[in-house]
Structure 1
Amino acid sequence: MRPERSLKRRIAQSFALLAFILSLFFCLVSYTAVEVIESEVMDDRLEKIIEVLIAHNSRQEQYVPPPGISIFIGDGIPQELRSVQPGIQELLLHGRESQALVRDHNGGRYAVVQDMTQFEHLEFVIFSSLGIGFITSLLLALIVGLATARSIVAPLTALADAVAASTRPSALPGVDADDEIGILARAFAHRTEELQQFLSRERLFTSDVSHELRTPLTIMLGAAELLKLRLNNSPGQQEIAERIRRVAAETTERVSALLLLSRAPEKLAGTVVSVNSLVRIELERYSPLLVGKSVEWRFEEADGVWAQGRPELIGIAVGNLVRNAFQHTECGDVTVRLRHGCIVIEDTGPGLPESIAQRLFERFVHGRETSTEGTGLGLSIVKRVTEHLGWDIRFEQPEQGGSRFVLEFPPVAPGH
């Protein structure tokens, strides 16, 4: 699993995002509140004080300002305030942060000054606290998110590890839980039990097939060898007996390979084999299918093409494709091209409908929708064999019609 897409990380990120949004909201609210206090409450206070100051001065009465407020009239106004425009001003007065309200009235100038040093310090403390709280909220959200994610993901990880380790369905962790983990565990247990039963039935079936096929094939092989010995004086018939013997022997090998592929593909260690000779053998094997047809086949080969794999499996893959081409082509030609790393089998047959071409390598899918010939397993077997060999297979439809199958494989040097 890619770390950036892990469920644990996404849960922690969700917590952090929620904390970020909420903290940012509260910071904005707090900042707005401070600004409102400064602009509305404190400015309004200065307005009221200057109104009282002007009224007292008009009556030539002395006015004593509240604590923290300084008042100035006429020539007593500091030099910093004499040239400013009337209204609220923020400035440094005698080296201290101050807020002043200047007003002109009946030819005289009045100024009310409030020392803002304490308020600025308080504002700094508030904003610093908000910043620290913002960062702390994110860190706490990440910690809580990771802890929560770990507690949520841990049962899932344990369940996945148990499934990967082929644990018995009844022993899967969380199978008795009454939450979503329990639902998932029971679904896994049910599905795993079904798969185990299916695999058990398949193993029994392949064992029975192995027993039932090997016995008649062994009899055929022995009978062909005995018939060949008795036909020493008939070379033509002896050749037929040898062909029967060779086909029976190759079929025995292929049955063994397919059964092993079905039950234990990891045991199918391959060797370096000549692809040229294997393709020629398959062409000769299925050439009788062209008897009576106006079809010619050609084999265009490069010299010394080698591949890694079991020869019987390579023969199965190539043989199925050659047989299909020979069997379904009624006129024209079949061309097999062998290059280093590639086998191309092309025919001028009827081709395939688009709906079939998309599902061609699935089991029980026939090359033609109305066909009842064959079991529809040939190409699915080819696909399975090529996957085991590490080869690639693809189907193409030539512009001139027909079918083209391309087998690609990693070429190797002989003896490697």
Structure 2
Amino acid sequence: MQSRRKLRFRLIISFALFGFGLSALFAVASLYVRAKVENQLINASLQSDVDQAVENTHNDPGQPSRSQLIDAWMWSDRTIYKAPLAWQNLAPGVYDMHDVDKDGRTRHYKLAVARKYGLVGFISYDISREDLGKRQLVTSLIASVILFSLLSLAIGLWLSRKVLKPVSELARRLRDFRKAGRAETLAPHFADDEVGELAQALDEYAARLTSMVERDREFNSDVSHELRTPLAVISSTTELLQGSPDLTDKLRERLKRIERASRQATELIEALLLLSRAERRGPTRGETTDVAKVASDVIDSQRPQIRDKPIEVELAHSDAVTVNAPASVLSVALTNLIGNAIKYTLEGRVTVQVEKGRIDIIDTGPGIKPEDAERLFQRGVRGEGAGGSGAGLGLAIVRRLCELYGWDVSIRPRTDANGAVASIVFERG
């Protein structure tokens, strides 16, 4: 499963987060400005009022203290003991105070204190109503944030559906073309905008790709026909020559080599043609291919390489293993693997072991490095000590054939002795 989110989902989330963030920022800014202004106004008012009360008492001691605010008290330094205990040692300034009234309710108020001319003045301002207003404001702002977030989400849903509708339609038409196996122009179905430009670019790309595929298909057909015809002539001619009674053993052996080379070339052409078309084809009439028989034929075709080497090639199989693939495909794969094992083994043994669901080619050559095992299947890469001609394409072709038929091919060093083990697993566990 893909972990990438759809573009529509990203648009919806972006709108929702934008709306939530903007609303939350507005709410926080509103709370901050309200608290800042409220605190400055209350503090300034209380301080101004208590200073004025002290001045009035100083100028006219006989007049009772009064304040424009609700509660005010005035004591001298000698009578300060009459003030509440929590107030007596307060320095001049404005304080946030909390206490419990006679009814047992918690009271929140601001207390302004002034000490001047031997007098101590107190003014209290009940801000419980301010706290209530603040709570109501917070509740309203939270509701606004939720409302605007939901509104942003709804707008995001609507806009994403509207904006991405042409893109979804383009994807749908592409899927329909793939299912129907046909290619139609896309640009006429879309407006002259970015999506229409994308559709036109896809039309141009599809036209170039179709032209390339047609040329490749024609080339493959022509090459296949032109190569198969002379190979068929070679094969039939060698077959007729082998029927001649006056052939020497040496000449007969050479004709057999020509016949084997012709058959291998025909099988290779068929396998390469399947690869170029990325076409997986099974044997005709629902038949299956015997792995051991194909391996035996490949070993016989490699006998000339063994002639001048002290090498034994052994085919070991206990169970009948068959695959649903043409014999030519399996033959090309095994020819490369068995041929490489014989080529790199100077002396010893090459064992071709056919087991249930797999075939292993085990040699006693110099072996390979573990880090080079996967690299050998890349195009143009040849093993260390590879002599003679070659472009390093054999194992790359084997890998592609195995991928086409769902097989696993690998090469690894032996753990019990010198050498390497090449394996093809036909049935994945």
**Range into which the TM-score falls when normalised by the shorter chain:** 0.7 to 0.9
Structure 2 residue corresponding to 1:119, chosen from 115, 130, 140: 130
Structure 1 residue corresponding to 2:111, chosen from 101, 105, 113: 101
* Paired AA for residue 8 in structure 1: R
* Matching residue of 1:293: 309
* Matching residue of 1:321: 337
Alpha-carbon deviations, 1:89-114, whole Å to 9, x = none? 14464658541416475887654333
How many angstroms apart in 1 are the aligned matches of 2:425 and 2:364?
21
* Matching residue of 2:84: 82
* Matching residue of 1:265: 279
* Matching residue of 1:41: 41
Shift of 1:262: 3.3
1:53-72 alignment, distance < 5 Å: 53-58=53-58, 59=60, 60-62=62-64, 65-66=67-68, 69-72=70-73
Alpha-carbon deviations, 1:270-295, whole Å to 9, x = none? 76544333322222222222222333
Q: Between Structure 1 and Structure 2, how many residues are aligned?
A: 406
* Paired AA for residue 279 in structure 2: P
* Matching residue of 2:79: none
CA contact (8 A) 1:351 1:402 kept: yes
Answer yes or no: is 1:207 the counterpart of 2:194.
no
How many angstroms apart in 2 are the aligned matches of 1:283 and 1:382?
17
How many angstroms apart in 1 are the aligned matches of 2:14 and 2:155?
11
* Paired AA for residue 134 in structure 1: V
Distance 1:347 1:161, change over 3 A: farther
Shift of 1:387: 0.6
Shift of 1:33: 2.1
* Matching residue of 2:142: 131
Per the alignment, in what secondary structure is the counterpart of residue 5 of structure 1?
coil
Per the alignment, in what secondary structure is the counterpart of residue 50 of structure 2?
helix
Distance 1:73 1:133, change over 3 A: same
* Matching residue of 1:405: 422
Per the alignment, in what secondary structure is the counterpart of residue 385 of structure 1?
helix
How many angstroms apart in 1 are the aligned matches of 2:166 and 2:385?
48
**Deviates most, 114-123 or 240-249:** 240-249
Shift of 1:42: 1.3
Alpha-carbon deviations, 1:67-86, whole Å to 9, x = none? x7333557xxxxxx824334
CA contact (8 A) 1:172 1:185 kept: yes
Distance 1:182 1:117, change over 3 A: same
Per the alignment, in what secondary structure is the counterpart of residue 406 of structure 1?
strand
Per the alignment, in what secondary structure is the counterpart of residue 284 of structure 1?
helix
The TM-score, its normalising length taken from structure 2, stands at: 0.73
CA contact (8 A) 2:72 2:123 kept: yes
CA contact (8 A) 1:305 1:340 kept: yes
Per the alignment, in what secondary structure is the counterpart of residue 359 of structure 2?
strand
Structure 2 residue corresponding to 1:334, chosen from 337, 350, 369: 350
Alpha-carbon deviations, 1:271-322, whole Å to 9, x = none? 6544333322222222222222333334444534444433332222122211
* Matching residue of 1:303: 319
Structure 2, gaps ≥5 residues long:
76-82
The TM-score, its normalising length taken from structure 1, stands at: 0.75
Answer yes or no: is 1:196 the counterpart of 2:210.
yes
Structure 1, gaps ≥5 residues long:
75-80
How many angstroms apart in 2 are the aligned matches of 1:353 and 1:316?
25
How many angstroms apart in 2 are the aligned matches of 1:149 and 1:370?
60
* Matching residue of 2:78: none
Shift of 1:192: 3.3
CA RMSD of aligned residues (A): 4.5
Shift of 1:388: 1.5
CA contact (8 A) 1:103 1:109 kept: yes
Distance 1:403 1:158, change over 3 A: farther
Answer yes or no: is 1:171 the counterpart of 2:182.
no
**Deviates most, 202-211 or 96-105:** 96-105
